[in-house]
Every structure is written in C-alpha cells, then in structure tokens.
Amino acid sequence: MPTALVLGAPIAHSLSPVLHRAAYAALGLSDWRYDAAEVDEAAFVSFVAGLGPEVRGLSLTMPLKEVAFEVAETVSDRARLAGAINTLVRTPTGWAADNTDIAGIVAALKAALPDDLRDLDLVHRRSRRTGLIVGAGATARSAMIALAELGCVRVTAAARNPTKALASLSALADRLNLELTVRDLDYWQESKAGFIVSTVPAAGGAVAAEILARHLTNLSGVRMLDVVYADWPTPLASASHAAGATVVSGLDMLVHQAVEQVELMTGRRPDWRDLMEAGHAAVAAR
C-alpha cells in the first residue's frame, strides 16, 4: 500500500493526516495511506534509512526542516533558498526535497487581497508592497521568499534576538534583492507593512498580541497571516483583527501547502476546498 507520513516532535497536534486523507478520499486514492510518527532530530536520519519502499513521501514539521538536508539527494531551488525542507518524495534513486510552505503562504495571503489587486503586474506591485515577519526561524525564511513573490521590496523582521535574526535572514534578503530591517519584538507593531506573517508559536504570538494592544496600533488595510491554527482565533489574531487587519489563519497556509505536497507525492492535485472543509471540522472537534 502506498504510504506517506508526517514526521516531527511533537506530532500529535498535526492536522496533516486529516488534510492528506481528505485529499486521498476526494481524489479516489483509496489505496493510499497517511500516518504520523514522532521523530526528533537525533533519530531522523536512521528513521528515514529504515523506511520501506512503500513509503512514497514525507511531510516534515519542526524540528526536522533543516536536518532533512542530510538525507536529500536532490533539493528544489525554493527549498535550498529557504534553507528549509518540509517535503521529501521518494524517487528511483533517493529522496527529492522541496518546500511547499512558500506556496502555502503566498496562496493564503493572496486570497486575502481584494479581487482588483490579485492580478497586478509584478513591477507595479513592487512599488507599493512592504512586508513584516514576526520571528526569525526556518518558517521566517520561507515567509521572506513568499513576501518577495507577492511583490515586496522592503521587509522588516521582528524577533526577540535581533542579532540572531539578522544572521539568519540577511543573506537571503540579499539574494532576493530585498531591503531588510531587523528590530526587537517589542517594537514589531511600529513597522508599516502591507503584509504581516507571524511565524512564532502560540506563546510568542501572545507576547506580540500584548504589545499590539498596549500601543493601540492601527492595522487597517494590512493582510496578516498567523501560522498558528490551534485554538483559533489566537490572541495575536484577535488583537490584529481588533486593530483593523484582515487576518488569515495558519490553517489556510497549511491547506495550501498540503495541496502542493499531495500533488508532489501522488501526481494528483486535490481541490483545496475539500482539505479546508476537513481541516475546519477537525479544528472544531478539538
């Protein structure tokens, strides 16, 4: 039986099994199976080496997006650029690595744009787009690439450790021809941006929400994606909505990146709406 797995630590919270199974059902792939396995960095390489040929694809969550380079035979341009892998697909000679988080972020934010702005010429969009990233880890790098694809020419990264954030993101910003500013998380809301992507976990998002509420910042016209989808709306999502932003759930990003993964692993592209319906039902049941 063809099988795909999602790996990470912890993994019990993952919605990937729900989304991929919904895709298989909608596509009539009744012979495919999708499961979850808790695997940390130390065990990852040996775990992958022990997988049988029936395992056709792997979805990777934290903390495996960087260690995955150790098992990849080929790496897509977008995964290499991001320095992060969230998808491995078995080929006749080894594992092919990719990063579908980027496409997931782009699709989620683009859907939040008014219809008359979605198809603007890239040059025109570049003259008027700025982006803000909250956080500086592997997902932040994917977010930076996504913001560049959406037409941003200036990006601010706000993190608890600005020095570490600069080291993590500056080379990528140069490759993307982006003007990068790094600031302390305490001042994240002061950056004027058309798009905001929060890549921090729930605890960090709660801190960012407190900062936003304290300063009463006006976020009207801003499209904001919070990659967290559990316990929605998160404190950050609620605070951003109250400040006037159009807020997009991490579930939207997860669904759109899962569509890309399913296609890479099975060769069939599902309708994102089937996955979204299953995702909403699963979140509501928790």
110 is catalytic: no
Length of the chain: 286
Contacts of 233 (CB under 8 A, 6+ apart): 241, 247, 249
Strands 87-90, 95-98: pairing kind? antiparallel
Of the residues 65, 110, 164, 192, which is catalytic?
65
H or E segment and range at residue 87 = strand 87-90
Give the separation between CA 50 and CA 54, rounded to whole angstroms.
Answer: 12
């989620």: which residue's tokens?
Answer: 108
Cis peptide preceding 10, ω within 30 of 0: yes
Cis peptide preceding 233, ω within 30 of 0: yes
Catalytically active residues, by annotation: 65
